[in-house]
Amino acid sequence: MAALNRFSKSFVKYFVPKEEGGLRRYNVLRFKMIGLFGMVALVPLCLMALINFHIYKSSLEKEQRLSTQSLVTKTKYSFELYLNERLSAVSFIAATNSFEELSNTQKLRKIFHTAKEEFEGLVDLGLINSEGKQVAYAGPYKLLGKDYSKHDWFNETRVRGTYISSVFLGYRKLPHIAIAVESITANGEPWVLRATIATEPFSKLISFMNLAPGVDAFLLNKDRVLQTESRLFGSVLSAVPFELPHAQYRGGNALITTEQGKFSATYVNFVQPEFILMAVRPASQATGAWFSLRTDLLVVLIGGALLITIVAFGLTNVLIRQLMMADECRENIMKEIEHTQKLSSIGRLAAGVAHEINNPLAVIKEKSGLMTDILARSPEFELNGVLERQIKGITSSVERCSAITHRLLGFARKVEAKNEWLNVNEVVSEVLEFLEKELTKRSISVNLMLEESLSEIESDKGQLQQVFLNIVSNALEAVDEGGVIYLESKTVDNGIRLVIGDDGCGMSEETMSRIFEPFFTTKRNAGNGLGLAISYGIIRKLGGDISVTSHVGTGSVFTITLPFSAESKKA
């Protein structure tokens, strides 16, 4: 504010003509108001724009990351299902046929052709004895008698019992994977049934991901060798030019750097075989949408700033003109009432002084009451009695001053009564509107059974609001999320009756017998135990009655009876 004042004075000094004192004052006020309006409007607008930039960028990146992560995870499950189906088929063939039966080439070919019709990608089927020699083969290649004893997949199968290899060339000189299952003959001799799977279905599964344009997806093994073709990093069996991210079963996101640039990668790991499915996109593509929107937001921001400036100038000029007219009128009126002001009565002067004094007296009384409450709650010490006597002296003096000022005010005006004719249904509706946000947030239903032709009563609206708010707030704390609170109003013989109930936790008989006692509360570390005590005192003061019924686990019901008026209660 000090900087604004200095700017206004400098601006006026150099750019505003030296006019008469009155007009110069208005010009200074005009520029101050323009600067203030601009700051009040433009600073929040700029802050909101910056926050929106950050939020939108973060949300966009998170949405893209989660979307790609979901696609990669679903495709991983498709790969696992594809491989497990074929592993189960090979295991079933090995389990339902003996070594001698599978050694029969005709029978092995029959089994192979049947399996090939059921399982896409199956290339051939071979039977290998314990020495690693292929003794039977069904397929398009001449591999009968081949020795696999020194191949990694054969040794892994002997150790694990089942094995799914990475993509390799082998004797076929074409990319494929091997699925092998070990079994044992009746004499205890181990043998292996091996199936070869083509890699074309892998590419088909990746194509089903329907990735956004510019996103490349591929399959890797633990040695960074491509198991499928990559648009960015080469063909099958090529090594990718970056280090693999830290292995996590659920996958994750990483930023990888290559000679081609930086890429945002989303990946997920397989357990068996040890594959990694990865989707990468250029890092610039991830923020491209944000940059395109940033221009639009900047245009809106600049346009809004210009509009605010124009409005500030126009509004300030209007206000200054009205202020000048008001000042002129005030000066004329002041001249007319200058003499009559000297004839003001001493009663009116006393009433004005009393009105001004009442406010600080109320503050003093409130502070003394607060000090009394603090002393009552604080541990005893030797000066407690002295302080209490001093506070009582302050309170007594304040009450004496208040009595004097109220008598002075009586010369000027008549003190209005607090009671008024009102409809309790309207008071209930106002209280529920006050609590509407909390009711909606916790999905609590409110059932209203209010009598449409409910009789009006003469009572204090503010105190009734306080009572209803206390009881409904207690009901809110008692019910769980999705609970029910109901209110029922009805005209009875001597007044009206309001019932407030809930389906909450309820109260025991011991608790119910003490709920109207001051400072009694069942809330740990919350509440002061005065709400229902004050409500009980208010209802009794208004000539009514309040009662409660409750059972543990079924809820509580408060019944409030109010007379039509104080006179009817006495009658």
150, 241: one domain: no
Query: Cα(61)–Cα(293) distance, rounded to whole angstroms?
Result: 14
Please check whether residues 105 and 192 belong to one and the same domain.
yes
Q: Which residues contact 480 (CB under 8 A, 6 or more apart)?
A: 504
What SS3 class is residue 33?
Answer: helix
Q: Quote the CA–CA distance of 234 and 230 in Å, as a whole number.
A: 5
Number of domains in the chain: 5
Domain identity same for 40 and 173: no
On whether the CB atoms of residues 411 and 349 are closer than 8 A, the answer is no
In a domain, 334, yes or no: no
CATH of the domain at 278: 3.30.450.20
Supply the pLDDT for residue 1: 46
Same domain, 488 and 548: yes
Q: What is the mean pLDDT of residues 429-447?
A: 85
Average pLDDT of 215-243?
A: 89
Question: Of the residues 181, 202, 223, which one is the last residue of a structural domain?
Answer: 202
Q: CA end-to-end span of the chain, whole Å?
A: 64
* 481 plus 378 within the same structural domain: no
The verdict on residue 121 lying in a domain is yes
Consecutive H or E run containing 447: strand 445-450
Cβ pair 485, 444 in contact under 8 A: yes
| pLDDT for the residue numbered 247 | 61
Cβ within 8 Å of residue 519, ≥6 positions away: 528, 529, 530, 533
Determine, yes or no, domain membership for 466.
yes
Please check whether residue 12 lies inside any domain of the structure.
Answer: yes
Q: What pLDDT, on the 0 to 100 scale, is given for residue 372?
A: 77
- Please say if the pLDDT value at position 248 is more than 80: no
CA angle, 562 then 567 then 568, to 5°: 55
In a domain, 507, yes or no: yes
Specify whether 13 is located in the same domain as 112.
no
The pTM assigned to this predicted structure is: 0.46
- Lookup: tokens for 98: 């003996």
pLDDT bin (cut points 50, 70, 90) of residue 182 is: very high
210: left (phi over 0), alpha (psi -120 to 50) or beta: left
Cβ 196 vs Cβ 202: under 8 Å: no
Average pLDDT over residues 382-387: 72
Other CB atoms within 10 Å distance of the CB of residue 389: 10
Last residue of a domain, one of 168, 202, 236: 202
Rounded CA-CA distance 329/384 in Å is 59
Is residue 565 located within the same domain as residue 427? Answer: yes
Dist CA 501 CA 488 (whole Å)? 9
Residue 331 within a domain: no
The average pLDDT across 302-326 equals: 81
**Amino acid residing at 287:** T
CATH code of the domain containing 471? 3.30.565.10
The tokens 């509440």 sit on which residue?
A: 527
Cβ neighbours around 254 below 10 Å, total: 17
Domain boundary among the residues 412, 431, 458 is at 412
pLDDT at 399: 73
Q: What number is the average pLDDT over the span 432-451?
A: 86
Quick check: 295 pLDDT over 80?
no
8 A C-beta contact, residue 447 and residue 500? no
* Other CB atoms within 10 A of residue 194 CB: 24
Q: Are residues 371 and 432 in the same domain?
A: no
Question: If we measure between CA atoms, which residue out of 114, 107, 122, 132 comes closest to residue 177?
Answer: 122
Average pLDDT over residues 425-430: 88
Q: How far is CA 487 from CA 289, 390, 465, 499, in A?
A: 53, 47, 14, 6
CA distance 148 to 221: 22
Name the one residue in this structure whose structure tokens are 């999320």. Answer: 481
Range 31-41 average pLDDT: 77
Give me the DSSP letters along 105-163.
HHHHHHHHHHHHHHSTTEEEEEEE-TTSBEEEEESSS--TT-B-TTSHHHHHHHHHSEE
Using one digit for the tens of pLDDT, what is the confidence trace for 513-557?
888 877 677 775 555 566 788 888 888 888 899 999 998 888 999
- CA distances to 442, 481, 560 from 503, rounded to whole Å, are 14, 11, 18
Q: Which residue has the tokens 């198991």?
A: 227
**High-pLDDT (> 70) share of the chain, %:** 83
In the beta sheet, which residues pair with residue 450?
489
Q: Are residues 297 and 424 in the same domain?
A: no
Q: Does the pLDDT value for residue 151 go beyond 70?
A: yes
**Average pLDDT score, the chain:** 80
Q: Rounded to the nearest 5°, which phi and psi values hold at 136?
A: -150, 145
Range 415-423 average pLDDT: 68
- Shared domain for 35 and 170, answered yes or no, is no
The answer to whether residues 503 and 483 touch, using CB atoms and an 8 Å cutoff, is yes
Farthest CA pair distance, the chain: 132
Measured CA to CA in angstroms, residue 170 lies from 18, 233, 235, 245 at distances of 98, 23, 17, 29
Find the angle CA(428)-CA(534)-CA(485) to the nearest 5 degrees: 35
The residue written with tokens 């409005």 in the block is 311
Is 337 within the bounds of a domain?
no
Same domain, 436 and 541: yes
Measured distance CA(520)–CA(356) in Å, rounded: 39
**Per-residue pLDDT at 53 exceeds 70:** yes
* 104, pLDDT greater than 70: yes
Q: Are residues 43 and 110 in the same domain?
A: no
List, in sequence order, every beta strand (DSSP E) within 321-403: none
Bridge partners (DSSP) listed for residue 182: 192
In a domain, 336, yes or no: no
What confidence tens digit (pLDDT) does each residue in 255-272 have?
Answer: 888 888 888 888 888 887
Q: Which of 212-226, 256-270, 328-342 comes out lowest in average pLDDT?
A: 328-342
Q: CA-CA distance, 357 to 363, in Å (whole number)?
A: 10
Q: What is the mean pLDDT of residues 462-470?
A: 86
Distance CA 300, CA 495 (A): 61
Written as one string, the DSSP assignment of 75-109 is: HHHHHHHHHHHHHHHHHHHHHHS-HHHHHSHHHHH
497 confidence band (pLDDT: 50, 70, 90): very high
R_g (Cα) of the chain, nearest Å: 44
Quote the pLDDT of residue 251: 73
DSSP strand E in 514-554: where?
A: 545-551
| 238-250 mean pLDDT | 78
% of the chain exceeding 90 in pLDDT? 15
Closest by CA to 149, choosing from 163, 132, 174, is 132
Range of the domain at 49: 1-88+290-326
